[in-house]
Structure 1
Amino acid sequence: MTYTIKYYLYTLFTQLRFTRIINILFIVQSLHFNLLQFAFLQSLFLGGQFVSEIPSGILSDLFLKKKIVVIGLITLSLTPIIIITSIHIPDNFRYLILVIAFILEGVGNALLSGSDDALFYEGIRKEGQEKKYAKIRGNMQLISSITLGIATGIGGVLYSYNSILPYVCQSFTIIIAILIIANVKEIKTTAIKKTDSSNNKNMVMEIIKVFKEMTATANIFFIFIFTVITVSVINSIFSFLPNYISKMGFNSSSNGNIFMIYSLLGGLIATQAYHLAKIKIKSLLLLIVFLLVFSLALQIQNNSYIFLIGAGILYNIIDILDPIVMQMLNLWVKDEARATFISGLSFSISLMSMLLNPILGFLIQNIGMVYMLLLITLVTILMIISAYFMIMNSKKEKL
């Protein structure tokens, strides 16, 4: 079985996230915690991911990526079970259990971030498929979106029958992903040979040096900043959206189906987004700004269904960006630092999302979802345009 097929199967089982929109419903509606308490849990999740991102990337670059991925998957298989045990915990300790679970979830995600992509990328390259990686990544995104969409719909239905079912099913699918990784052979590059402590220290310094080189190259630096801002804002918005859709009158099954449609459309878009891999940065910026403005226009009116269309456009911006950005980074970053660099991107997204979540929760509580969307979208557009002119007009090297 080729690395590409294993990559697709791994994606399939890791993206069966039945709890994707369920967490906020379970915590706010079933456990009766408020929106700010949920936002705090989200920040703890992102905080756990944030502090673990760079160490996990460095560990996978220095040692075996496969072992790091397995440890991450084991952690992710345990956290849903910890969350549902909170039902049987006394009220005084229930929130503490959720805090532990969300932090562990963040650590588990960080252990996968960069390590799994680098593990499969190096295998795909070994098979002579490096030039097709952008297309493979787009196909992976399609599988991810379809799987995530179907799992979201199923998760909503499962939740309507029993609130713990989505969590149990998710743990089971992660265990299957562990079995897939166990059958993946890691490519032994010169970057991951066992060395003495002195050589390891030098390697760490080389990895850190990559980030300094990135800031000296205008194109790569802007793409990095642009992606961090855009993805973190969209992810933060969508962590609160299921609860808002529920308040609009849609039940958990309908809620799940809405996000299923978003994911399926996103997957279709991702399969074609690789055609934009050679797009000029200015054109990419204009495209994303246009989509942000258009989605906002649909979300600030009173019709619920038109609002959902606008939210869908906002959601799918990430599916446009992912294959393009990953292709650029994989072609530019050296082998010995690839996992660290990708982890650095996730690290930065986690940091910004961690800071954004409580702010968005506070804004929703005080001015409502629609006005929050208006404010945050305008600020986001201003930030990415400012970043473009500041970085691209600087004296930094351009590729």
Structure 2
Amino acid sequence: MLIIGPVLVPFMLFKGLSYSQIMLLQSISAVSVIVFEVPTGAIADKFSRRISLFLSGWFCASGLILYIAFESFYLFAVAEILFGLGLTLMSGADSAIIYETLVKQGRKKDYQRIEGRAQFYIFLGQAFGSVISGFLYKYNPFLPFWISVVNIMVATFLALGFIEVTRERSEHHYWKHIFLSFGVAVKTPRILWAVCCAALMGFVIRVGYWLYQPYFAAVDLDVAWYGVIFFGFNIVAAFSSHTLVARFSNTRPRKILLTLGMLMSMSFLLPILFMAKWAIALIALQQIVRGLYRPVMRFYVNHQVQDSHRATVISTVSLVANLSFAILSPFVGMLLDLQGTTVSYTFVGLVATIGTLLLYLLRKRQKLVAEQV
């Protein structure tokens, strides 16, 4: 569990980075995820999901240590690449283990609920970690980062204890397996819609985190209170993943995902109308999305593909999300440096609004085509 969320942007500013440099680093991280995402998903499919998770922890911890030890933009870029590699080794493998175990037990319908419960405990842990993070940072900026490194390593060794069920494995060679999985994503209309949705949500959800601190600074919120705000954010996300996932488990996933797109739009456009400390509560709408998006999207994708391609297709969806973030995030960083918080929030809010409308129209078109077949 990482507790650096509330103080990561202040820490990077403390290290001498501008907003443009911060977002460029995040773009580098996203590009590294794009490069590694599908190959590491294929490793999980063809070899071992457990080993994939174990290696993930080592790379993530190494990236954090580079941030702690150095003050060079170029070394920070290396850290982001390592962190990106670690995230890709985890992506797809974790949800694939859960889903396949439930299928073997005849409990496939429980996937959303169990994934949501796992998210609930993660958010709850992050909530309590966030409370102390801001105060630890004010005492010593490096403390939250060292604690996070220790937490990662503990989780890394716990991953070795996971048990993988016997499953169908791809009989194709590595690269052929990857291309076949891409074919599944492109030729399956529902997966193609999920890919387009991931392109939108991957950008707006991820960039939302990097826009918290500029808004906090704009309304003159002291850094010590960032952790308290993040506590509230994580409690909302925990409620969303625990209660709302169960509440809407019988609702069509695409309908839920479209609603989440509109919530993201509101979370950017409404706060800039007021620019006040209390309006931070409106940004908390993003936490509802944060809690619901992963279990709903993962269930939606898992339900469409076979075991042999599952982790790779999930990774493909994640790849597209990172591609959109890699392309647009440097532009948001420049907007922050040149135009400020209000313009940046307006831009992201409009992207969320227009993107959600286009997803709705694509959904309608796919339904019409399906009815004509």
Distance change in 2, residues 1:342/1:370 (3 Å): same
Residue from 272, 275, 288 that aligns with 1:316:
288
Is the aligned partner of 1:382 residue 2:354?
yes
Q: Deviations over 1:206-232 (max 9, x none)?
A: 553344344344333223312330232
Contact 1:141 1:270 (C-alpha < 8 Å) held by counterparts:
yes
TM-score (norm 2): 0.91
Secondary structure (helix, strand or coil) at the match of 1:345 reads: helix
Is the aligned partner of 1:108 residue 2:86?
yes
Secondary structure (helix, strand or coil) at the match of 1:21 reads: helix
Contact 1:231 1:318 (C-alpha < 8 Å) held by counterparts:
no
Partner amino acid, structure 2, of 1:133: Y
Partner amino acid, structure 1, of 2:192: F
Secondary structure (helix, strand or coil) at the match of 1:183 reads: coil
Structure 1 residues not aligned, in runs of 5+: 1-15, 88-93, 193-198
- Partners of 1:388 and 1:293 lie apart in 2 by 14
Contact 1:299 1:370 (C-alpha < 8 Å) held by counterparts:
no
Where does residue 54 of structure 1 map in the other structure? Answer: 38
Distance change in 2, residues 1:23/1:288 (3 Å): closer
Distance change in 2, residues 1:182/1:283 (3 Å): closer
Where does residue 200 of structure 1 map in the other structure? Answer: 172
Worse-matched range after superposition: 265-274 or 318-327: 318-327
Q: CA deviation at 1:101?
A: 1.0
- Partners of 2:292 and 2:97 lie apart in 1 by 23
- Partners of 2:228 and 2:177 lie apart in 1 by 47
Partner amino acid, structure 2, of 1:259: F
Residue from 212, 216, 234 that aligns with 2:183:
212
Contact 1:69 1:111 (C-alpha < 8 Å) held by counterparts:
yes
Q: CA deviation at 1:293?
A: 4.8
- Partners of 2:266 and 2:259 lie apart in 1 by 11
Contact 1:298 1:309 (C-alpha < 8 Å) held by counterparts:
no
TM-score (norm 1): 0.85
Q: Deviations over 1:357-378 (max 9, x none)?
A: 1111111222221222122212
Alignment of 1:232-311 (within 5 A): 232-271=203-242, 272-280=244-252, 283-284=255-256, 287-311=259-283
Is the aligned partner of 1:364 residue 2:348?
no
Partner amino acid, structure 2, of 1:62: K
- Partners of 1:177 and 1:283 lie apart in 2 by 34
Question: What's the % identity of the aligned pairs?
Answer: 21
Q: Deviations over 1:322-353 (max 9, x none)?
A: 22222222222110111111111211111111
Structure 2 residues not aligned, in runs of 5+: none
Distance change in 2, residues 1:293/1:104 (3 Å): closer
- Partners of 1:330 and 1:286 lie apart in 2 by 19
Q: CA deviation at 1:282?
A: 6.8
Where does residue 97 of structure 1 map in the other structure? Answer: 75
Q: Deviations over 1:34-64 (max 9, x none)?
A: 1111111111111211211011001111111
Contact 2:67 2:76 (C-alpha < 8 Å) held by counterparts:
yes
Alignment of 1:59-70 (within 5 A): 59-70=43-54
Contact 2:221 2:277 (C-alpha < 8 Å) held by counterparts:
no
Residue from 180, 186, 200 that aligns with 2:158:
180
Where does residue 35 of structure 1 map in the other structure? Answer: 19
- Partners of 1:241 and 1:233 lie apart in 2 by 12
Contact 1:222 1:392 (C-alpha < 8 Å) held by counterparts:
no
Where does residue 171 of structure 1 map in the other structure? Answer: 149
Is the aligned partner of 1:138 residue 2:123?
no
Distance change in 2, residues 1:157/1:124 (3 Å): farther
Worse-matched range after superposition: 206-215 or 244-253: 206-215
Distance change in 2, residues 1:114/1:293 (3 Å): closer
- Partners of 2:5 and 2:354 lie apart in 1 by 30
Q: Deviations over 1:195-214 (max 9, x none)?
A: xxxx432x753553344344
- Partners of 1:294 and 1:37 lie apart in 2 by 27
Worse-matched range after superposition: 110-119 or 53-62: 110-119
- Partners of 2:98 and 2:189 lie apart in 1 by 28
Contact 1:36 1:361 (C-alpha < 8 Å) held by counterparts:
yes
Contact 2:181 2:312 (C-alpha < 8 Å) held by counterparts:
no
Q: CA deviation at 1:107?
A: 0.9
Alignment of 1:337-376 (within 5 A): 337-376=309-348
Distance change in 2, residues 1:329/1:308 (3 Å): same
Partner amino acid, structure 2, of 1:161: Y
Contact 2:265 2:352 (C-alpha < 8 Å) held by counterparts:
no
Q: Deviations over 1:254-276 (max 9, x none)?
A: 11111121111111012222432
- Partners of 1:142 and 1:156 lie apart in 2 by 22
Is the aligned partner of 1:120 residue 2:116?
no
Contact 2:55 2:156 (C-alpha < 8 Å) held by counterparts:
no
Contact 1:25 1:243 (C-alpha < 8 Å) held by counterparts:
no
Contact 1:297 1:310 (C-alpha < 8 Å) held by counterparts:
no
- Partners of 2:322 and 2:337 lie apart in 1 by 23
